[in-house]
Amino acid sequence: MARTLITSALPYINGIKHLGNLVGSQLPADLYARYRRARGDEVLFLCATDEHGTPAEIAAQKAGKPVAEYCAEMHKVQAEIAAGFRLSFDHFGRSSSPQNHRLTQHFARRLGEEGLIEAVEETQIYSETDGRFLPDRYIEGTCPNCGYDGARGDQCDNCTKQLDPTDLINPHSTISGATDLEERVTKHLYLRQSKMRDALNDWIETKIDWPVLTTSIAKKWLHDGDGLQDRGITRDLSWGVPVQFEGAPWEGMDGKVFYVWFDAPVEYIACGAEWAAKQGLGEEDWERWWRTDKGADDVRYVEFMGKDNVPFHTLSFPVTLLGSGEPWKMVDYIKSFNYLNYDGGQFSTSRGRGVFMDQALSILPADYWRWWLLSHAPENSDAEFTWENFQASVNKDLADVLGNFVSRITKFCRSKFSEAVPEGGAHGEQETALIADLTEKVREYQSHMDAIEVRKGAAALRAIWVAGNEYMQSAAPWATFKEDPEKAAAQVRLGLNLIALYARLSAPFLPDTAGKLQTALGLDSLDWPEDVATALEALAPGREFVVPDNLFTKITDEQREDWQNRFAGRRA
C-alpha cells in the first residue's frame, strides 16, 4: 500500500478565512487526500491553526480577550467551518501545542549546535508611545520595492518581498498609530540560511516535476539580488515558543519567543505527533511518517499553499530540516496556487468585501462551493470569482448536467419499471462505444488527478458526466420503451450504473453529493472504479434503490443579485 503524507498551509488564527484562502491550500489538499484514499493509499492529511505572532496578539487585543483564550476559541470556530466544507483532515491541530513547543526548541537547539544559529546585536524599532520594541508585524509602512502603502515589517503582501521593519518608508505602529519610532540596539537569534545555499540549490535542482510557479519563486529567492539571506528567528513578544529553554546553546534571550515563521512549519511535524497522541498511539506511529530512519523513506509528501508561502517552504523550512543534520522527511512535491480575486477587486476583511467561509455555508451547501472553487482553481494565473460565473457553473454543471441526469433516470425507472434495477436486454454497439469512451475519459481523469492538475481534473470529470448525458439523450429509453421494453430496460440499467460510477468518481470533488447517491443506490462503499466495464455492471438486476431528492437547486437571478449586493463591501 502506497503512503501519502499531505499538509496544507496553516490558516492563521486571526479570524475566519475567505474563499481565496480556502482554494489556495486546504480545499485542493482535501481533494487530493480524498482521491489518494479512494485509490487505496494510506493517507495522513494534516493541518492546524497558526497561532503565534503579532497578528494573534492584535486580534486578541481587539477582542478584549487573553491571547490564549482567543486562540482556543478561534481554533474551534475554524475547525467547525472546515468540517462544514468537508475538509477530511486526519488531524486539525494547533501550533501552540506542547508538541510544537518541544519540536521547535529541539530544532533550534540542533541548528545552534550545527553552527547555523548565532546571536546578533541589531537595531530594532522602539516606540516611545507604546513603551516597547515593536515586532515586525506591529509596524506598517510603504514598501521600498513596489510602493505599496500597506506593507508589513516582515513582508509586502503586494509584491511578496521579504522585508525588515527598517526597510519601510514612513513606518508607523499598528498598535497606536504612533510615528515616534526610533532605532535601538537589541539582541536576536539569526538562522544562517546563507550557509545552506549550496545544499538548498542541490535539493531544489532535483525537483524537476514541481510546478513552474513553485520553482520560479524558490529560485528567485535563492539567486536574485544578494541571494539567500540570514534571517532573524526571534521576536519580542509574550505569546509564542520561548527562546530560552533547558539545553539551549545560548543565553540572554529571556522574554523572547521564536518568530512565527520559524515555528509554524515545524507544526506540520508536531501535528503528526498530536494526531498520534489523540489516537492513543506511540511516538513510532508518527515518526514512521516523518523520519526516514523510522520508515518514512516510502512516503510521498505533498504540500499545498498559496504562492506567498512558497519562499518559506522552499527555503527557510528546508534549512531547518536539512540543517538539523537529522533524517527528517523532506517534501516531495509543492503544489502552489496563485490568488483568487473577488468580483473585479480583492477580498477585504476590513471592508466586508467578498465571501468568507462561514458566510458561504450559510448561503449554499458545501458542494456548490467546492465545485466552483476547484473547477476554477488559480493554478496557472490569478483567477476571479464573479457571481455570474458562479451562477452559470452551478446551474449548468451541477444542476443541468449531473443533477438532471440522476433525476431523469431514477424517476423514469420508477415510473416504467420500479424502484429496482430492471432486468432484460443487453448491451449493443452504442453501449459498447460508450464504455470504451468512458474508459478513456476515466483514464484521462486519473492522469490529471495523479498530477494534481485540479482544473483539468474537474474538466475531465465534467466530460464524464456529459458523456453519460449524451448517451442517454441519444438512446432515449423513454421512446425506446414504447417499441422495445427489453432494450429500454438495458438502457436504464446502464443509466443507473452510470450514476453509481459518477458517485465513485465525483466523491473527491462532491463528497456530500456522492454520499447521497451512495445512500440512494445502497452502495456499500465508494471504491474507485479500476475497470469501467466492471463498474457499469455493479448494480445487478433486481437491486432496489430510492429516487433521491433533487441534488442541486438552481441559483436564480434574484438570489445572485442579492448576494452580489450583500458582499460588495462598504467604503472604508
Kindly list the averaged pLDDT for each block of 10 residues, start to end, along the chain of length 572: 97 94 97 98 98 90 94 98 98 98 98 96 88 84 94 88 88 90 91 94 94 92 80 92 95 92 97 98 97 97 96 94 98 96 85 91 98 97 96 98 97 96 92 97 98 98 97 95 95 98 98 98 95 96 95 98 88 36
Domain that holds residue 499: 386-535
| CA-based torsion, 271, 275, 280, 285: positive or negative | negative
pLDDT at 291: 98
Would you state the pLDDT for residue 166? 84
Q: Does residue 112 lie in a domain region?
A: no
* DSSP β-ladder status, 91-94 and 42-49: parallel
From the annotation, which residues make up the binding site for Zn(2+)? 143, 146, 156, 159
pLDDT given at position 500: 98
Residue 474 in any domain: the answer is: yes
pLDDT of residue 226: 64
Q: Considering its fold, how many domains does the chain have in total?
A: 1
Which residues are annotated as part of the binding site?
143, 146, 156, 159, 349
Domain annotation covers residue 103: no
393 in any annotated domain: yes
Instruction: Determine, yes or no, domain membership for 478.
Output: yes
Q: Which of 364, 360, 366 is nearest to 347 (CA)?
A: 360
**For residue 310, which of 410, 404, 214, 381 has the smallest C-alpha distance?**
214
In a domain, 495, yes or no: yes
Q: How far is residue 168's CA from residue 179's CA, in Å, rounded to a whole number? A: 12
In a domain, 451, yes or no: yes
Residue whose C-alpha cell is 484514499: 37
- HEC secondary structure over 263-286: HHHHHHHHHHHHHHHHCCCCHHHH
The pLDDT of residue 570 is 57
Which helix (H) or strand (E) covers residue 385, if one does?
strand 383-385
Q: Is 31 part of any domain?
A: no
Give pLDDT, residue 55.
84
pLDDT recorded at residue 478: 94
Closest alpha carbon to 238 in 57, 453, 471, 436 = 57
Residues tagged in the binding site annotation for ATP: 349
User: Distance between CA atoms of 65 and 99, rounded to whole angstroms?
Assistant: 24
- Distances in Å between the Cα of 429 and the Cα atoms of 40, 305, 534 are 33, 47, 17
Query: Which positions ≥6 away from 515 have C-beta within 8 Å?
Result: 507
Q: Cα(571)–Cα(289) distance, rounded to whole angstroms?
A: 49
Provide the phi-psi class of 354: left if phi over 0, else alpha when psi is between -120 and 50, else beta: left
Q: What is the CATH number of the domain that holds 420?
A: 1.10.730.10
